[in-house]
Amino acid sequence: MSATTEASNAAVTAIAEFMAALNARDDAALYDLLHLPHVRISGEGVAIWHDRAELEETYLRDFYARAGPDWHHTTLDLHRGDPQLRAQGPRADPVSPGGTNRIRPSPLTARYGS
């Protein structure tokens, strides 16, 4: 297995573990998976959590505010060899297949959809 394949597999595993903790509402497991300082870069700017206390105070509160009250889970779709994250709920974009919103990671940026 090439180093690139191993790195890609490790990245997908990390995202899958994060999504599993998020969907299970297992806050402690989710926080354990994040490296500190944790940096989130989005169209709204850059957010930095320096320690666990900061994560516990605002990280999930901010996520639920972005996701909206109808968010219920996110899936990682690996069927087509093109990993896509899909946030699912009634607020989903009607033009997306399956009534889901997509977050398409790229090497430089990721777009959040809810």
pLDDT digits 0-9 by tens, 32-55: 999 999 999 988 899 999 999 999
* H or E element, residue 47: strand 45-49
Select, from the ranges 10-19, 45-54, 87-96, 104-113, the one with the highest average predicted confidence (pLDDT): 45-54
CA distances from 60 to 52, 65, 93 (A): 12, 8, 22
For 51-77, what is the mean pLDDT?
89
Mean pLDDT, the chain, integer: 74
For 19-25, what is the mean pLDDT?
92
Quote the Cα angle for 88-89-93, to 5°.
Answer: 75
Alpha helices in 1-114 (DSSP H): 3-23, 27-33, 52-54, 60-67
pLDDT over 60 (residue 28): yes
Closest by CA position to 103, among listed 56, 62, 71: 71
Q: What is the residue type of 103?
A: I
